Structure 1
Amino acid sequence: MLATAVVDLLLSVVREWNAPGGLGETLAGFALTVAFLLLLPALSGGVLGRRQPLVRLLRERNQYLERAQELTAEKARLKERAHIATEMHDMLGHRLSLISMHAGALEITAAKDAPRFSGQAELLRTTAATAMAELREILGVLNDTQGSPPETVGEHSGTRADITDLVAESRRAGIAVELVWSGADVDDADVRARHGVHRVVREGLTNVHEHAPTAPARVEVAHEADRIRVRVINGAAHGAHRPSGTRRGLVGLEERIELLRGAFSAGPTPEGGFQISAELAAHPAVPAPAANRPLPEVREPLDAEVLTLPRAVGAGCLGLLAVVPVATGLIMLIILLAIE
């Protein structure tokens, strides 16, 4: 288009050289043509060239700010969890150690002076030791920032042998509980899933101990394909009415199962009892915590990025807008000299 305009100008100069006012009109028309063909693309290219890297940079900054806000909130939660862990260690750890120590002394004394109470003393000592181990496990979870299973989780946690031990402990404490296991063992399942099974059974049996110690109970575990279903159900309580709890244990258990992408339910049964049930994958796909995901890389736009194609075209048009009139004037001058 630009070459056509230049050729047209030269032919017009030769054709209308002797016409009065013809050369001036030709130059004016050519100036308008050049302005339209060069100035408009130059301006639009410059505007687009500046807008594109700016929009991209603003998007990157927005993503960075959102991620930074998410990370700040996650760090605050981790700090609060660490504070809670410290308080629990200071307040409960010492007292549980004292209970375990005195229970051991009581067991030794009972073995000598009151053998019929030796079993209860041993149960008290082992329960205190288990509570201390579970406290360490909880502290490990609260202090964990990698989303990994706690180190204190036993190798056989949640397996058939582990659940059998939990049921046996409840039987020794006087609870009439039976275990119904169907399917293969879960020893090949993910440690987080196995620990979830352990938690559901333990929480269910704990509720039976606290609220319905005289009621019959049943623990059901079914392992089919990649799914694990577990349920703890007890009948109606007999005797004195036990006050209901705060449900904090159930709320925490539900959160744990949901973190494993599982389903959890707890509530009364039509017969007047209570049941806790959960279903989860044997190998749950759990994403990493937000605090462990890397921040997206945010960088300043480089010079090569700022000089995008639209800006390059615009700069070229502006350059032509300055060069073409000069070159055209020189060509016209040469033609005029040749004609004369």
Structure 2
Amino acid sequence: MTLPLSILDLAPVVSGSSGVQALQNSLELARLADHLGYHRHWVAEHHNMAGVASSSPEILIAALARETRRIRVGSGGIMLPNHSPLKVAEQFKTLEALFPGRIDLGLGRAPGTDQRTALALRRIPERLGADDFPEQIEELLAFAGEGPFPSDRPFQGIQAYPADVPLPPIYLLGSSTYGARLAAELGRPYAFAYHFSPQALVPAMQTYHQHFQPSRHLQEPYGILTVAVICADSREEAEELALPLDLLRVRLSQGISKPFPTVEEARAYPYTERDRQLIQMYRHSLVLGSPQEVKAELLQLAEQVKARELILSTTVPGQKERLRSYQLIAEAFGLQGAKMAPEGQLHSPR
């Protein structure tokens, strides 16, 4: 069976560049992915992070879908506790109406930010500790006309419009057995964030497969693996491109929010022994190397946990190197259209 390859995009803001350029880079990446034959292009939701421009995925999804012809575009994901389920239903029904059959709704329960920013998003302090993600999904489906409202909710009769448009397919995201079990019980596809939580990979995917309940949406488990990847023409080049990611991990562990560092910044940083231990821990979940090395490791990971699809996230400071990484992987896996279009030909289809 062919293993679909997809993309997770954080719209990284590189040191010395801008958010405007980061978003334009995302549009360029989507056009290339569409051409190469990638299956999906998902956009993450993060807030109050200087190095990430994807704070409004629903808006970016519309722009990406407009710039492409074939590839599915969606959220990886919408962090549902940050939002009104009614508003999410309205947004994604509208996206589905504009780009029928090409939109995905990936849902997560983490805030995608720190707790203070989560409070600014949610405005209700009690919501910060609430674990009502299943109920929020139930509300979302009810607003969309795809199920009843929970009995304790006073929202009967409220509907998300346009009413004659279905919600796009829902995918549950997670990095632990919690999300895996919920996806299994609901009979939905499950995307595991290996780049966040490598130690939970096997138990989470086992939980999903063991507890999966067939539904009208999905008859068999559909496990997706999200992996951080850096592919280059040589392993030495890939190792160098990974240096900024090392510094990013260190800064995040210290609560420091800065644009994505350059290779030069990463080389000059005075790492402590604790920093190096942290880097080594995260490097275990980073797949990097030449095309054949990357392909072999990705296939091994997918086989280990019976993943049906891989979503790849390449975050490097140079746009040229980021596009090259995805191109080399597409060629290694033999994706249709993997012979890259001539330079300068990846324009908007409009």
Structure 1-normalised TM-score?
0.19
Structure 2-normalised TM-score?
0.18
Q: Radius of gyration: which is bigger? A: 1
Q: Which is helix-richer, 1 or 2?
A: 1
